[in-house]
Copies of this chain bind each other. A is one copy, B any other.
Amino acid sequence: MGGFALTTPTQTDLNLRAVQLLNEDAEKIAQLISVQLDNLTLPKCPLYEEVLDTQMFGLSREIDFAVRAGLITREQGQQIIHDLERKLADLYAKILP
């Protein structure tokens, strides 16, 4: 079974890898927004909102796919979005009085 395990990832491997990839993507969005907030003074700028909407849509499509492919649970997906939203709220809090 050792050789089998080496060539075929277990469900746990796949789950961990999928969660890691999705968290990296969420982190990239937080970084992008952080850079934007540093360079734009107004987070209400339509361009800023459009970039965020597009990126959040892309991440939600990835997460939805990962859930349907059986790689992660729906709860894990919601947690990734929730963590990102909290991170973004922290970024705003630093900018806005």
Contacts and interface: CB of A to CB of B under 8 A. Distances in A.
Interface of A: 1, 4, 7-11, 14, 17-18, 21-22, 25, 54, 57-59, 61-62, 64-66, 68-71
A79 to B, nearest CB: 17
Per assembly, the copies of the chain total: 2
Contacts of A18: 69
Nearest to A17: B69
A29 B10 CA distance: 32
Nearest to A4: B1
Nearest to A63: B65
A21 B65 contact: yes
A9 B22 CA distance: 21
Nearest to A65: B62
Nearest to A69: B18
A68 B65 CA distance: 13
A38 to B, nearest CB: 25
